[in-house]
């Protein structure tokens, strides 16, 4: 499969989609780590044929065809198996996270993992959001591990002024806008997890986050939700001097503290 150039061939893309949808879940993910209510095991079988198909993309001398095939397959995993349904973590999501963790473990090219971040970042945010409210600890650990691999690679490849980082900023802002009104505590917890891995990215979107906080305060009343304020403070403390600066501003204005 790695020899097939799929980027400009819609027919080939459809056939690869059919293969992924029919066969990805047929091969076992086996191991010993418990996933609670999701299942009994979450470690990836090294014999999964899709890992074999993507093996060239993990190496420094990968062809464009191999890299494009990898990107297409990750897009298919995202759209078919990493989507949250009914606010639940499905076994398919667990299987996909295990697969991604193993794929990134095998990948020796930092640039390739950084490239994959654009495809998977938003899905990981949504998964962490649901994990925060449903207490599926093992799945959350998997998701954080995959996110850590991506963001570590991304920071090594892209500097702070790159246009690539703007793409992640936008996705993070969309995530905040979509969920803060109904799940603000969980959103703050996800932001805290991201801040541990990529602090400057969270600093970049703090104005958007604080706008959402102020909007909630206006609707519900200042001081009515101490849990939210505590979560905001905890997040800001993860941001170092920049976080302290935001706290001082809000204290001076008397809006939150």
Other C-beta atoms within 10 Å of 1: how many? 17
Query: In the predicted model, what is the mean pLDDT of the chain?
Result: 84
pLDDT class of 140 with cuts at 50, 70, 90: very high
d(CA 231, CA 238): 11
Average pLDDT over residues 36-44: 43
CB < 8 Å & 24+ apart, contacts of 98-101: 98/29, 98/31, 98/42, 98/43, 98/44, 98/142, 99/24, 99/29, 99/44, 99/48, 99/50, 99/51, 100/74, 100/146, 101/44, 101/142, 101/145, 101/146, 101/149
Find, among 80, 83, 76, 177, the residue nearest to 130 by Cα.
83
**For residue 36, pLDDT beyond 50:** no
**For residue 43, pLDDT beyond 60:** no
Q: Name the residue with higher pLDDT: 134 or 206.
A: 206
Q: pTM score, two decimals?
A: 0.87
pLDDT class of 154 with cuts at 50, 70, 90: very high
Least confident of 50-54, 60-64, 174-178, 243-247: 243-247
**For residue 226, pLDDT beyond 80:** no
Each residue of 164-200: pLDDT tens digit?
A: 999 999 999 999 999 998 888 899 999 999 999 999 9
- The first and second tokens of residue 216, run together, are 């909630």
Average pLDDT over residues 109-122: 97
- pLDDT confidence of residue 38: 41
- pLDDT confidence of residue 30: 55
HSE-up of 162 (CA within 13 Å, CB side)?
A: 14
Residue pair 120/83 in contact (Cβ under 8 Å)? The answer is no
């Amino acid at each position: 499969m790695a020899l097939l150039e799929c980027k400009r061939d819609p027919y080939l893309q459809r056939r690869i989609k059919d293969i992924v949808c029919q066969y990805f879940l047929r091969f076992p993910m086996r191991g010993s780590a418990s996933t609670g209510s999701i299942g009994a095991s979450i470690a990836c079988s090294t014999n999964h044929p899709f890992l074999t198909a993507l093996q060239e993309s993990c190496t420094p001398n990968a062809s464009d065809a191999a890299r494009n095939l990898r990107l297409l397959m990750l897009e298919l995993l995202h759209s078919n198996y990493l989507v949250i349904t009914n606010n639940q973590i499905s076994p398919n999501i667990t299987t996909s996270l295990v697969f991604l963790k193993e794929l990134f473990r095998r990948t020796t090219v930092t640039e390739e993992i950084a490239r994959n971040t654009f495809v998977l970042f938003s899905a990981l945010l949504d998964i962490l959001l649901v994990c925060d409210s449903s207490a599926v600890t093992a799945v959350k650990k998997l998701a954080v591990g995959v996110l850590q691999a991506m963001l570590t690679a991304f920071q090594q490849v892209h500097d702070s002024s790159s246009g690539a980082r703007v793409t992640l900023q936008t996705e993070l802002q969309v995530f905040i806008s979509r969920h803060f009104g109904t799940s603000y505590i969980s959103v703050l917890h996800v932001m805290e997890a991201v801040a541990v891995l990529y602090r400057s990215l969270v600093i970049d979107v703090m104005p958007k986050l604080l706008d959402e906080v102020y909007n909630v305060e206006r609707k519900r009343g200042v001081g009515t939700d101490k849990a939210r304020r505590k979560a905001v403070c905890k997040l800001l403390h993860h941001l170092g001097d920049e976080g302290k600066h935001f706290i001082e501003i809000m204290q001076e204005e008397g809006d939150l503290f």
